[in-house]
Amino acid sequence: MPFLVLDLEMTGGDPGWHEIIQIGAVLYDDDWKELGQYLTNVYPENEESISDYAEEIHGLSLIDLDDAPMMHDVLPEFEDWIIDKLHLRKMKREGQDNGHLLRNVIICGQSVINDINFLRFAYNDQDRKWVYSNKLIDTHTLGYFVFRILKNNGQKVPEKLSLTAIASHFGFHREGKQHNALEDAILTGKCFMEIYKIADSLKL
């Protein structure tokens, strides 16, 4: 099953009012070999939803988003990007819909349920069918389990389970203070691979 490591920047924390304004993703095959990277800004339909707190985190204002596409264009483009990277274009031309082609794509991320909730809201708002697997993989959950085992065996573990803390534990860092969806997706993917290495090395 392909792994889609996803990170979103939003105008705030409420999917009923706030909106996605940046999508970053890294697509991997089932062996965690990178297939491609994706980044786009998104112009919000609700221009009043951008909060000062969110803007401090990602640094994106309406001026920065002025030339960005809107969600009704972004969602099909995003699906087509995944289809192309998975070499499924021929199957689409043969009449298979995106819901069939992408149903095994597992969305992964840091506390990824929040991103999935926002993305699902966007799909519902645009009256589009959800096309991805209902499975998810979360670095926060995996980290809690793996680091608990390591700690009980006397090994050093991160004090927190934020992306910053987990990435730093493995020697990875953001380039700047503000969040960028693609940079965070790349960091998250690297953390997944390190956590999987630990899991593969554990013996009962």
Q: Are residues 157 and 169 in contact, defined by beta-carbon separation less than 8 angstroms?
A: yes
Q: Kind of pairing, strands 136-138 and 106-109?
A: parallel
Model confidence at 95: pLDDT above 80 = no
Q: What is the mean pLDDT of residues 180-198?
A: 95
Domains and CATH numbers, the chain: 3-137 (3.30.420.10), 139-201 (no CATH)
Helix (H), strand (E) at residue 190: helix 181-201
Model confidence at 91: pLDDT above 90 = no
Q: Are residues 151 and 141 in contact, defined by beta-carbon separation less than 8 angstroms?
A: no
Local structure of 94: helix, strand or coil:
coil
Q: CA geometry: angle at 158 spanning 142 and 116, to 5°?
A: 40
Q: What is the mean pLDDT of residues 116-139?
A: 96
The pTM score is 0.92
Out of 56-65, 75-84, 133-142, pick the least confident: 56-65
Q: Are residues 18 and 51 in contact, defined by beta-carbon separation less than 8 angstroms?
A: yes
Q: Strand pairing partners for 3? A: 28, 106
pLDDT one-digit tens code per residue, 1-54: 899 999 999 998 888 888 999 999 999 999 999 999 999 999 998 878 887 777
Q: What is the mean pLDDT of residues 183-196?
A: 96
Model confidence at 140: pLDDT above 90 = yes
Rg of the Cα atoms in the chain: 18
